[in-house]
């Protein structure tokens, strides 16, 4: 096939469709006198380098899952929570079981992704996963138990939603002592395990949607923009209007706002 005799546009289209190109053909195209052909080759090479980097990162992030499968575990769930830091709203957890052949190259710690990337990945994860579970702990439970134990409760509820049940858990830097299942606490797990990263994305998208819905009930706080976190906009509204039923009374800044409203 004499690719070099083709037009620049035809060569560019052909390269775009190729997963592999014979090294000799690629060398001859890279030396073509036409600048457009050389640019097409360079673009294809950049694309292949990016794909290789994504595949290498995926392989590194599946090491925990592969080790557990080598030990005989089959249904490995990643578990993560979001919403420990906000002044308002629930803490939300997700549990996700991915199949062994899953490949979601864009998947990463949810904090590193744009809102659009999280939404697209949430859909892809739900299409790919063997099971997805969501759990939450309410504002009242956060105030009663403290945020750490409320986060654990949300995670246990997320795991309980999985069908089929998991036979091993990968969690972000904690374990769930009440669950009689093999568990691994992975430090910075949402950046080191694909299962935990998937759970972080699903939990983040779910919680953001809850806070967007809450913004219709309490529009003065801008929950659709700040998700309950202590932004300057949120703090100014808290000072002006005081806390609403979604604010965590056990948090110092909310307590201060409540006292200020009572004293005014």
As annotated, the binding site for a divalent metal cation includes 80-81, 172
Residues annotated within a binding site: 80-81, 172
- Tokens (6 digits) for 206: 């779910």
SS3 182: strand
Angle, CA 168 vertex, CA 159 and CA 186 arms, to 5°: 90
Residue 154 and residue 91 in contact, taking contact as beta carbons nearer than 8 Å: yes
Residue pair 248/143 in contact by the 8 Å Cβ criterion: yes
Task: List phi, psi (to 5°) of 116.
Answer: -65, -45
Quick one: 46 exposed, middle or buried, by C-beta within 10 A (0-12, 13-18, 19+)? exposed
Sorted by sequence, the CB contacts under 8 Å of residue 214 that are 6+ apart come out as: 88, 89, 223, 246
Judge contact between 149 and 176, C-beta under 8 A.
Answer: no
**Token pair in block for residue 17:** 């469709």
Q: Is there a contact between 116 and 70 (Cβ–Cβ < 8 Å)? A: no
Structure tokens belonging to residue 100: 């062994």
């Amino acid at each position: 096939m004499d690719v070099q005799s083709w037009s620049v546009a035809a060569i560019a289209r052909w390269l775009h469709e190729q997963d592999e190109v014979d090294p000799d053909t690629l060398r001859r195209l890279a030396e073509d006198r036409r600048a457009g052909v050389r640019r097409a080759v360079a673009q294809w090479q950049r694309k292949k380098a990016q794909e290789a980097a994504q595949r290498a990162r995926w392989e590194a992030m599946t090491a925990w899952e592969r080790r557990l499968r080598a030990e005989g575990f089959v249904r490995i769930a990643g578990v993560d929570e979001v919403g420990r830091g906000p002044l308002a709203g629930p803490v939300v957890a997700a549990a996700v079981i991915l199949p062994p052949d899953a490949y979601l190259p864009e998947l990463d710690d949810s904090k590193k992704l744009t809102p659009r990337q999280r939404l697209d990945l949430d859909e892809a994860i739900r299409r790919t996963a063997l099971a997805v579970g969501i759990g939450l702990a309410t504002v009242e439970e956060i105030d009663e138990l403290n945020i750490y134990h409320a986060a654990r409760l949300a995670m246990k509820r997320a795991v309980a939603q999985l069908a089929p049940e998991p036979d091993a858990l990968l969690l972000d830097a904690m374990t769930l002592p009440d669950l009689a299942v093999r568990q691994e606490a992975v430090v910075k797990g949402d950046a080191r395990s694909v299962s935990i990263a998937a759970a972080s994305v699903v939990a983040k998208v779910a919680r953001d949607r809850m806070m967007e819905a809450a913004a219709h009930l309490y529009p003065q706080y801008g929950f659709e923009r700040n998700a309950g976190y202590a932004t300057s906009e949120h703090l100014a509204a808290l000072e002006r209007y005081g806390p609403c039923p979604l604010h965590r009374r056990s948090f110092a800044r909310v307590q201060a706002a409540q006292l200020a409203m009572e004293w005014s």
